[in-house]
Amino acid sequence: MITCDCAIIAGAGGIELAEAIPASIPWYFLGFLTGCASEFIIPRSVQFLRYPAISVLALSGASLTYLSGTLLGVVLFFAFSAYEKTRRQAVGVLLQTLVPVLLAVLAYRALTLPDNDDPAGPWAVTLAIPLASAGIFWAIPYGKKQYWHDLWAFHSPRIPYLDLSGDGNRGVPFMATLPGQSPLLGLGLWLAGWPCTLGALGVSFWGIHHVLTTPVKSSTDGLFILLAPMGVAIFNRSRKLFLLGRRHLGMVIAEKKFFRPGTYVLYLRSFEDDKKRTELQDQLWPRGGLPHPDRLTGGTIGLVMSSRDEEEHIADALSPVGQLIAVGAPGEILPFAGAVRMYLPKEAWKQPVRELMEKSRLVTLSLGSSTGTVWELSEAMRILPPQRLLLMMPGAMGQEEYDKIREDVEQSLRDLPGSERNRTWGNSFPPSLPDYPQEKPENNPVTGLIHFSADWDPTFTRTPLKSLPWQNLFTQLTRGLRPAFRQLASHEDRTGRRFG
């Protein structure tokens, strides 16, 4: 009979979990993971051979618990296929449902050990709650991301967003490197983030364990109390190593000709917004609880809950439509993480941006009052069909600034000669932005999204407040993107075009 003896060794002492977790549970879930993995490893043409293989293993005396878990994994993916769901969607559903339940059960079992008087008992609390919470806070948003990406049909058939096949592109380097960018350094920073993160967690757990098991009798013992906050501080800083590494590894495209029309999302914003959007999304408690980035509490579950900055969340939310690309600020020495960047001459940027708009699948603009951003918004409303324009309202934008943007755009569009007006306007009046929302949660990085119907009727969709600890900017944006994506999909079905 196959048995399982799970042990977690930490510091000088350890705690055996064989009594906490029945031997059948690990084998059951190991079999389930085997069944799920077979969907990705075994080619579809020979997947029918899995069932004879399971039968042979059963007759040879293999663990029935393991085999039943394997069969359940296979059946679940078969059911998803019957409902026309993709493999990625199936993984997303499992991460949002099964994984949190499993982690909660294991944590509960660890906390209900029969021998509560064991001096090593506090390790159950020290390890079970943080690790289970971290796993849940990672699995739910990551599962939502996997399901969201394949929920829409924009990617089918999948077309690469880079066009390297043209005669004018062959033999020409399509990637560039900024002066402050070093892919080798980026890889080193990314790799260094893992030992720093794991070491910080170990220091924190060690400090908590010592406080729970050893009475403080001297000043030396009191120093162990500092290990927990010290570990959390290192943990928080290690997240920034990952972010800095991703910036060094970010892709910079040499020229706009390499972008394939109709496969990318153009991201327009004021360059002053870049530094704001590079903040890590790591608020621990929802609805204004404990704030915010550099405080010790912000890093406790930040890596697994949301180790990405705002622009990366925007790129994830818009990924079903296409790759997010952006024009970088002139003189930038290190690109920000999130969008693929290219750089234009400071004096001659309007015509290239106009061409990028015309060939983009979707234009997403973060509202701002700078002269360049107002021109970009006016130009987008002049040349694009309404379904291909999406506006984001920053949480910090007040009514006075918003009304000024609205007035400037309306005036700019009214002054256009008739030959330059957008034919989709349908009448002599140019489109306008909606009224400023009366109830606007200003603590959201993006407080709402504005999209337009076929006749340029604007709709403001408010992004919800964080109501659960594992929610982040990505999960907030997906709420508001649904109606905009539906309109874009309907427009493409009707016209048969990916751009324009």
pLDDT one-digit tens code per residue, 337-385 = 989 999 998 888 999 999 999 999 999 999 999 999 999 999 999 999 9
pLDDT of residue 15: 39
The mean per-residue pLDDT over the stretch 13-29 comes to 51
For residue range 305-341, list pLDDT tens digits in order. 456 788 999 999 999 999 999 999 988 999 999 899 9
Alpha-carbon gap, residue 298 to 276, rounded angstroms: 17
pLDDT at 295 over 50: no
CA-wise closest residue to 338 among 412, 450, 251, 272:
251
Question: For residues 140 and 306, is the Cβ–Cβ distance under 8 A?
Answer: no
pLDDT of residue 70: 79
4-18, 45-59, 467-481: the lowest-pLDDT one: 4-18
In terms of C-beta density within 10 A (0-12 exposed, 13-18 middle, 19 or more buried), how is residue 213 classed? Answer: middle
For residue range 85-100, list pLDDT tens digits in order. 787 888 888 888 888 8
Q: State which of 58-62, 213-217, 387-391, 480-484 shows the largest mean pLDDT.
A: 387-391
pLDDT at 290 over 50: no
The mean per-residue pLDDT over the stretch 439-454 comes to 82
- Read off the pLDDT band of 415 (50, 70, 90): confident
Q: What percent of the chain has pLDDT over 70?
A: 76
The mean per-residue pLDDT over the stretch 101-129 comes to 64
51-60, 225-234, 346-355: the lowest-pLDDT one: 51-60
CA contacts within 13 A on the Cβ side of 27: 16
Q: What percent of the chain has pLDDT over 90?
A: 30
pTM of the model: 0.81
HEC secondary structure over the chain: CCCCCCEEEECCEEEECCCCCCCHHHHHHHHHHHHHHHHHHCCHHHHHHHHHHHHHHHHCCCCHHHHHHHHHHHHHHHHHHHCCCCHHHHHHHHHHHHHHHHHHHHHHHHHCCCCCCCCCCHHHHHHHHHHHHHHHHHHHHHHHHHHHHCCCCCCCCCCCCECCCCCCCCCCCCEECCCCCCHHHHHHHHHHHHHHHHHHHHHHHHHHHHHHHCCCCCHHHHHHHHHHHHHHHHHHHHHHHHHHHHHHCCCEECCHHHECCCCEEEEECCCCHHHHCCCECCCCCCCCCCCCCCCHHHHCCHHHHHCCEHHHHHHHHHCCCCEEEEECCCCCCCCCCCCEEECCCCCCCHHHHHHHHHCCCEEEEECCCCHHHHHHHHHHHHHCCHHHEEEEEECCCCHHHHHHHHHHHHHHHHCCCHHHCCHHHCCCCCCCCCCCCCCCCCCCCEEEEEEECCCCCEEEEECCCCCCCCCCHHHHHHHHHHHHHHHHHHHHHHHCCCCC
pLDDT of residue 396: 82
pLDDT at 486 over 90: yes
Mean pLDDT for all residues in the chain: 78
